[in-house]
Amino acid sequence: MTVWVSFKVNGGPVDLEVEPMRRLADVLRDDLGLTGTKIGCNAGDCGACTVRIDGQQACACLVPVAQVAGCEVRTIEGMGADRARAAGGPGAAAGVAPREFTDLSELQRAFLEVGAAQCGICTPGMLMAAEEVLEGPDAPTETQIADAIGGVLCRCTGYRTIVEAIVHATAPAAQVGRARPSGDARPDAYGAARERAVGARLAKVDGIERVAGSAIYGADQPSAEFLVLRAVRSPHARARFRFGDFEPLRQRFPGLAMILTAADIPGQNRYGIYATGKDQPALADGEVRHRGEAVLALVGDAATIEGIADADVPIEWGPLPPLGDMDAATAAGAPQLHAHAKSNVLISGRVARGDVQDAMGRSVVTAEVDVETTFVEHAYIEPEAGSARRVGDRIELFVSTQTPYLDRDEVALILGLRPDEVRIIPSAVGGGFGGKLDLSVHPLVATAAWLLDRPVRAIWTRPESMTASPKRHPSRIRARAGADAEGHLTAFQFHGDFDTGAYASWGPTVANRVPVHAMGPYEVPAVLATTRAIHTNNPPAGAFRGFGVPQAAIAHEALMDDLADQLGLDALEFRLRNALRAGSVTATGQALRASAGLPACLEALRPHWASWRAEAEDWNVAQATANGPARRGVGIGAMWYGIGNTSMTNPSTIELGVDRAGGLTLYSGAVDIGQGASTVMVQIAADALGVAAETVGLVSGDTDRTADAGKSSASRQTFVSGNAAKLAGEDLRAQILQLAEAGDDATITLGDGRATVLEPGGRPVEIDLAELSPVRGTDASASPVLLGRGFFDPTTTPLDADGQGHPYATYAFGAQIAEVEVDLELGTTRVLRMVAAHDVGRAINPTQVEGQIHGGIAQGLGLALMEAYVPGRTENLHDYLIPTVGDIPPI
């Protein structure tokens, strides 16, 4: 049954004939094209779809459209549009998102300026919720702000910058430093006194779309163009299965275009990151190895696919006893989950240096710790989504991904095509954190679109995302460390088992990376660190911010505290005494020559460490006197992290082109997943060429238009692709200077079809760009006529059987302290404040760097205090809890 519903959206009238119970979020997105309203869970848990109805914020996914009859609905597309309308700008029609910085509202501008939008998927909902604060008191308290935005989850920012942005937008301009922070203005390498982009707090180059709600994520393409694909998944952790007769289903649902099974996969029904780990089927073939594994896919029009229940699909299940944990998987006689493997141990890792037994025996003090951690869910607010269409003999995918080139090669294998017959166009990515390094919707939409020759899309539901996507590895760690009487570490022994679930995913990376980092950022003469990644019938565990290193850090930091206590040494002092620094040799035998700044980080913490502990002790005395139940303590932790792939090649190529009009375009395959990769690439390339960053356009991630820059993970893009961007800028500069026969102290200006080169004291030399031929492409106006190319691959060496070698070209270091309050009666824990000091090398864009540190702290608090993924039990965002704004202390 349909009814007519009339309401207003962003001031404009809407009359629709709709089913009255349809979700308002779907009507806004699918019927009105207002995809700024995002859907993260369809259950009212994440708040991404927050809109305002007659001034009240509401989750549009929970509101039946009939309920807004006669109401005024406000979406992100309405924000800032008033300003644009007044100016006759691009927001002149209601519902059209503003595109210019000046069209944005104060609130949107504040979000952009302070870096409150990283991936941006939560941003429209967050802005809608925050707008409520603007209508309250002039100077809202932090509690009032937190109350207003408390229903909207953000997985990237750690919320502090969001609160800061709202404070900025609500306070009178005179009270806050509203000026956009700028870069240093010292003369640059070319002798000109222009502002340098590197080191500046430039707003994100893709930031306007994020705060305007106009960025196109995986689920945001117009829905009418596509057939819909839905996977049917296993309810069992381990089972054999066979299909019944599909014919009755086809007869009953004529809109069903295809039932896709393993038998339909044109190429190889096995994929995986590593050549030796291609063990995961696109569709299970007679046997499933984890709950949520896809066994077939239904493809058809949206109404048909929605109308088919999983129970309608004839599947005969033969459940088998699952290997529920690592003990079961390694027990004698345990069934082997992969026939090609020798055991359920996927891979082992090892670093050995010195004689650990002897050194431990000679230690004055020793300490031991056992650590066990759970699965942790990425919980990016954008569930996996994307589409595919066949274009002649090629297939094109538009997907949310961290790694377009790996995706291209994997999809090619599955379809039986050459890699150059596959094109990956990354959508805006609504959070990744490692989870979007694996294929998700790709193989199924690609196969269906290929076979049907019709565009096909898939959008995973939140439970589907949580069931089927890889997780942080659960770990079981036993570690022991020793120190001498002077407080120098003498020995470190570590063994960690990691549950890598049903398929390899990034399990090999965890097994290899953890032993290198197991002893923490400390110099230890004798080390034995071993790891195993073990297959179970749990969901695949893969990459998640740190590849197992955070789990190991829990162990090594507990040992540092214990040893310091036993020796009567201060915990910060003990860490400082043992900190890796320039000149240190790591456990893999690598001498650190530079950029090893842990001592400076610890020194930066020292004033807080002293004052916070004194304040906590005073507070505890007062609590004890008053018989209060709570006590406070201050703790410290340190970390290090090798940048890029472990002991293997890390190549990246970036290009910078100038077209006939003088327009500059950076061709960057380094996908921005919210961390700011696009912005820092532009900053670096602009400085290397010697032009303003604002003049550089961007093509990002498209495998047809950019070179392979590798994956956006392992903290590698700024270092690896950043160096490639620098070389690309320098290459283009050298080409232009050569054409002008000018020296390196000349300045370059591009525009109006010319490159103008001016040497100090000389006369300008003009290069007519229209006279140059395109170096590639057929579009004469947009194709580059000059193209700078940069290739960078940092030097690493393979590790030998004892894990000796140079696994990374450089490392990051950090140390943090936290003040924690524990209620001794209730057992509840609250983190009151934190301070973080990180050595990141050169901060290309400090705002983006701080954003990553804040986000990491928020995810660390979640890991430590509240998150535990349990297959079958926490497959949504009301049973699996991630930090809200109320959980994050001042940082």
Binding site residues, ligand FES, CB under 6 A: 117-123, 154-157, 381, 431, 674
Cα–Cα distance, 556 to 382 (Å, whole number): 34
Q: Which is closer to ligand FES, CB of 40 or CB of 807?
A: 40
Q: Which is closer to ligand FES, CB of 121 or CB of 502?
A: 121
Looking at residue 169, its amino acid is: A
Q: Which is closer to ligand FES, CB of 422 or CB of 677?
A: 677
In sequence order, what are the residues at sequence separation of 6 or more whose Cβ sits closer than 8 angstroms to the Cβ of residue 800?
none
Q: Smallest distance, Å, CB 382 to ligand FES?
A: 8
The residue assigned the tokens 């193209």 is 787
Q: Smallest distance, Å, CB 861 to ligand FES?
A: 16
Alpha-carbon separation of residue 394 from 226, 441, 867 (angstroms)? 18, 18, 42
Cα–Cα distance, 483 to 489 (Å, whole number): 4
Going by the DSSP 8-state scheme, the letter that residue 720 receives in this structure is: I
Q: Which is closer to ligand FES, CB of 155 or CB of 270?
A: 155
Nearest CA to 494 among 555, 452, 567, 428? 555
**β-bridge mates for residue 478, sequence order:** 370, 495
Nearest CA to 733 among 750, 721, 748? 748
Going by the DSSP 8-state scheme, the letter that residue 401 receives in this structure is: -
Alpha-carbon separation of residue 830 from 33, 206, 242, 823, 884 (angstroms)? 43, 36, 51, 9, 13
Sign of CA dihedral 862, 863, 864, 866: positive
Q: Smallest distance, Å, CB 467 to ligand FES?
A: 21
Q: Which is closer to ligand FES, CB of 50 or CB of 590?
A: 50
Q: Smallest distance, Å, CB 40 to ligand FES?
A: 9
Q: Which is closer to ligand FES, CB of 157 or CB of 344?
A: 157
Helix ranges (H only) for 64-122 are: 81-86, 106-114
In sequence order, what are the residues at sequence separation of 6 or more whose Cβ sits closer than 8 angstroms to the Cβ of residue 553?
517, 520, 637, 639
Cα–Cα distance, 533 to 529 (Å, whole number): 14
Cα–Cα distance, 552 to 735 (Å, whole number): 48
Nearest CA to 337 among 410, 376, 292, 284? 284
Q: Smallest distance, Å, CB 887 to ligand FES?
A: 15
Q: Which is closer to ligand FES, CB of 40 or CB of 98?
A: 40
Contact 698, 682 (CB under 8 A): yes
Q: Smallest distance, Å, CB 120 to ligand FES?
A: 6
Helix (H) / strand (E) containing 423: strand 422-426
Q: Smallest distance, Å, CB 780 to ligand FES?
A: 39
Q: Smallest distance, Å, CB 48 to ligand FES?
A: 8
The residue assigned the tokens 């850090």 is 553
Q: Smallest distance, Å, CB 431 to ligand FES?
A: 5
Q: Smallest distance, Å, CB 674 to ligand FES?
A: 5
The radius of gyration of the chain's CA atoms, rounded to the nearest angstrom, is 28
Q: Which is closer to ligand FES, CB of 51 or CB of 518?
A: 51
Q: How many CB atoms lie within 10 A of CB 876?
A: 17
Q: Smallest distance, Å, CB 104 to ligand FES?
A: 17
Q: Which is closer to ligand FES, CB of 65 or CB of 119?
A: 119
Classify strands 811-823 and 784-792 as parallel, antiparallel or unpaired. unpaired
Q: Which is closer to ligand FES, CB of 108 or CB of 118?
A: 118
The residue assigned the tokens 């230890």 is 524
Q: Which is closer to ligand FES, CB of 219 or CB of 227?
A: 219
Q: Which is closer to ligand FES, CB of 208 or CB of 596?
A: 208
Q: Smallest distance, Å, CB 871 to ligand FES?
A: 24
Give the CA-trace dihedral at 104, 105, 111, 113, to 10 degrees. Answer: 60
Q: Smallest distance, Å, CB 884 to ligand FES?
A: 12
DSSP string, 153-213: --SSS-SHHHHHHHHHHHS-GGGS--SPP----S--TTS--PPPSTTS-PPPTTHHHHHHT
Nearest CA to 469 among 495, 498, 502, 445? 502
